[in-house]
Amino acid sequence: MSDKRTTVSHDGVVVDTGEGRVRVRITSQSACAACHARSFCPGADTREKIIDAQTSEDLNSGDAVVVTMQERAGWLAVAVAFVGPFLVLMLALLVVHALTDDAVMAGLAALAALVPYFLTVYAQRGRLARHIEFTAESRLKS
């Protein structure tokens, strides 16, 4: 079995630089971006995002770069952003509905349960940032 780590990469442009860090603008496209009917489809979207990335190179604003992230870090981000809130929401909904038999109360309690979840995620952002890291490398290797 290979020990090669799978990465996810995007092309981008440096918009700001700092010591060992850069801010990169990438264009995120939906999965149907290659479809010939995308201009007529309301589901097709293209958005620009700014990503903070580490770099060991001397990069300047306007430089073309490739931003990479370990695939497992992407799965962690998905779990924290989508799976965790879904589980908290459903658990609170089911428990409160079973205890009160009131659907409105259960729905409001489920939404309220997300507040401590996201406050916890916010409080742990530094710890999460150590696991979800982006790196930027110049596209023009000398």
pLDDT band for position 81 (cuts 50, 70, 90): very high
Amino acid occupying residue 130 = R
d(C-alpha 90, C-alpha 84), whole Å: 10
Q: What is the pLDDT of residue 95?
A: 97
The DSSP result for 47-103, as a single string, is: EEEEEEEE-SS---TT-EEEEEEEHHHHHHHHIIIIIHHHHHHHHHHHHHHHHH--H
Averaged pLDDT, 25-52: 67
What residues does 28 pair with on adjacent strands?
47
Q: Which residue has the higher pLDDT, 83 or 48?
A: 83
Residue 101: left (phi > 0), alpha (psi -120 to 50), or beta?
Answer: left
Averaged pLDDT, 59-81: 86
pLDDT band for position 1 (cuts 50, 70, 90): very low
pTM score, two decimals?
0.66
Task: Report yes or no: 68 and 132 within 8 Å, Cβ to Cβ.
Answer: no
Q: For the beta carbon of residue 137, count every other beta carbon within 10 angstroms.
A: 16
Task: Report yes or no: 67 and 134 within 8 Å, Cβ to Cβ.
Answer: yes
Averaged pLDDT, 95-115: 96
Token output for 5: 């780590």
d(C-alpha 97, C-alpha 113), whole Å: 14
pLDDT exceeds 50 at position 3: no
